[in-house]
């Protein structure tokens, strides 16, 4: 099991005067309270990868620093303009693919990269279709359901526990958070659920929920909904910020 990784406010001393040059610092989006982890699928992608690296090597060390996107500290803005950002000594990276490459080259204890063009292609449009739908760029839910069905069919035919193999790869770390956003936000905001008959896709989500690394890196349902809502002054929005955090990790009875 991975060692606990505390989430914390940004402290410039942590970054600028760290005596341990071997420690990695991951900066991610803060939640609506300004402290907890927020709902950014790309931030969870990197957080998940770091936790998986930690599980493979107990001496692998990193911390997580949450950044309030509305009022980012001046010290953070001096080193990066976007999240997630990984800092390691003088190295500053804020592209998810570059971060994965750096982690694999610097810490080859667990290789995240995996050459699988077919798997990469099959999931390439699903998050885009979701964002188009939730932002009212288009209003036909079939476009999203079609992409989800493609992934379900691919997983069923591939027959592996994870999307590319029977071991977790970087593509899983990328896809799982996006599917969680789709599951939670589409259901709450659009009243659109992932069909129960997509059993291979639900099995795939179940494989994420059984991982301590996924559970630890996953934002609450409320944070995911708040990430996608645009009515920040509404009573519903304010109510969500006050609720006890919920996490949708249950799965339906699969056929």
Integer Cα distance of 76 and 175 in angstroms = 28
Locate CATH 1.20.1050.10 in the chain.
117-241
pLDDT in tens, 102-125: 999 999 989 999 999 999 999 999
- pLDDT above 60 for 17: no
Integer Cα distance of 142 and 150 in angstroms = 12
Other beta carbons within 10 angstroms of residue 151's beta carbon come to 21
Strands across the sheet with 7-9, in order? Answer: 7-9, 62-67, 24-29, 85-88, 91-93
What is the model's pLDDT at position 234?
Answer: 72
What is the model's pLDDT at position 6?
Answer: 46
pLDDT in tens, 43-78: 999 999 999 999 999 889 999 999 999 899 999 999
Helix or strand or coil: residue 238? helix
Instruction: Tell me the pLDDT band of 16, cut-offs 50, 70 and 90.
Output: very low
Instruction: Tell me the pLDDT band of 23, cut-offs 50, 70 and 90.
Output: confident
Is it true that the peptide bond before 194 is cis, omega within 30 degrees of 0? Answer: no
- Which CATH number does 117-241 carry? 1.20.1050.10
- pLDDT above 60 for 149: yes
Place of tokens 């609450």: 220
Find how far residue 109's CA is from the centre of its chain. Answer: 22
Locate CATH 3.40.30.10 in the chain.
23-105
Integer Cα distance of 217 and 200 in angstroms = 23
What are the helix (H) ranges across 135-233?
142-158, 170-190, 199-209, 212-217, 221-228
pTM over 0.85: yes
Averaged pLDDT, 122-140: 92
Averaged pLDDT, 12-30: 71
Length of the chain, in residues: 255
First to last CA, the chain: 31
In DSSP notation, 78-142 reads TT-SSSSEEEETTEEE--HHHHHHHHHHH-TTS------HHHHHHTTTHHHHHHHHHTTS---TH
- pLDDT above 60 for 164: yes
Lowest mean pLDDT among 10-19, 154-163, 197-206, 234-243: 10-19
CA-nearest of 55, 43, 60 to 94 is 43
- Which CATH number does 23-105 carry? 3.40.30.10
CA-nearest of 210, 214, 195 to 253 is 195
Averaged pLDDT, 115-138: 94
């Amino acid at each position: 099991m991975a060692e606990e990784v505390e989430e914390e406010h940004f402290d410039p001393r942590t970054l600028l005067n760290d005596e341990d040059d071997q420690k990695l610092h991951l900066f991610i989006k803060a939640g609506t309270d300004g402290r907890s982890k927020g709902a950014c699928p790309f931030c969870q992608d990197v957080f998940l990868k770091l936790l998986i690296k930690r599980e493979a090597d107990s001496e692998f060390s990193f911390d997580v620093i949450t950044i309030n996107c509305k009022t980012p500290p001046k010290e953070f803005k001096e080193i990066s303009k976007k999240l997630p950002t990984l800092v390691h000594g003088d190295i500053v990276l804020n592209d998810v693919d570059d971060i994965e490459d750096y982690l694999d080259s610097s810490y080859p204890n667990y290789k995240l990269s995996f050459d699988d063009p077919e798997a990469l292609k099959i999931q390439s449009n699903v998050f885009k279709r979701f964002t188009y739908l939730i932002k009212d760029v288009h209003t036909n839910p079939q476009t999203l359901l079609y992409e989800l069905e493609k992934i379900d069919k691919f997983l069923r035919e591939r027959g592996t526990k994870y999307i590319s193999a029977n071991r977790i790869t970087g593509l899983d770390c990328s896809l799982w958070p996006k599917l969680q956003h789709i599951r939670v936000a589409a259901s709450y905001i659009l009243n659109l659920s992932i069909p129960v008959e997509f059993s291979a896709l639900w099995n795939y989500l179940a494989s994420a929920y059984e991982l301590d690394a996924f559970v630890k890196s996953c934002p609450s349902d409320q944070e995911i909904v708040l990430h996608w809502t645009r009515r920040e002054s509404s009573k519903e929005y304010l109510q969500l910020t006050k609720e006890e955090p919920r996490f949708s990790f249950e799965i339906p009875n699969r056929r």
